[in-house]
Amino acid sequence: MFDFEKTIAITGHYGSGKTNLAVNLAVDFAKSGEKVTIIDMDIVNPYFRTADLAGLFDEHGIRLIAPQFANTNLDIPSLCIDMAAVIDGCDRLVIDVGGDDSGAAALGQYSTVLNNSGCGLYYVVNRYRYLTSTPEEAAELLRDIEQVSRMRAKGIINCSNLGQDTTADDVKVTADYALRCGKAAGLPVVMTAAERSLCVDGAYPVDVYIRPFWEE
């Protein structure tokens, strides 16, 4: 696995696979013996919630910080964090960031302490999402996220998938797309993630903890 910073923020378009990736990273860090905290900072999208997996986090000793109104029908969730204290209190911090520039605004509230701590912001791309189907579209969305969050991304992560219909070939054919996303954004591609059962060579194997409601 790529050698991530102590604090990492995972962002990307809705449906890119960013939340599932964030969960897998947190679980794998915990399995390696680290004291892990995960923050559900996706306060906009109600369908793919890190907070839905509280039981999984408890099982692995992972601390979950979620919006005050996560998993309710209230329209305006709130998130108030002493970010410096959170960083100091764990070995590894994973932040699941909202899927567009509006979602990334929550991250921007903590940009000073996160930048000072050396936080790595990573941008997840999915060739099969309609608003990021070209490298140019993906790079434009990233620029919006960076501007609002007041942070610069460190790298691209390719999570191209078609949900439960994904095959190994569907992942493999997106390698060039990911490289072109990196070129358009001026960033390296640090990882490709693929569902474990697909056995894609060189890919970070992930378990599927997050599925859209229409696949359940």
Residues making up the chain, counted from first to last: 216
Mean per-residue pLDDT over the chain, rounded: 89
Residue 194 to residue 70: CA distance in whole angstroms: 28
Going by pLDDT thresholds of 50, 70 and 90, the confidence category of residue 184 is very high
Most confident of 37-41, 160-164, 191-195: 191-195
pLDDT at position 4 over 50: yes
List pLDDT tens digits, range 89-112: 999 999 999 776 677 888 999 999
Q: What is the pLDDT of residue 73?
A: 46
What is this structure's pTM? Answer: 0.91
For residue range 63-76, list pLDDT tens digits in order: 999 876 544 444 44
Question: Smallest Cα–Cα separation from 13: which of 160, 205, 203?
Answer: 160
Looking only at the bridges linking them, the beta strands covering 120-125 and 63-65 are unpaired
SS3 category, 185: helix
Per-residue confidence (pLDDT) for residue 15, from 0 to 100: 83
pLDDT on residue 61:
98
Structural contact between residues 41 and 99, judged by C-beta atoms closer than 8 angstroms = no
Give the helix/strand (H/E) hosting 41.
strand 36-41
Give the residue among 209, 164, 216 at the shortest CA–CA distance from 52.
209
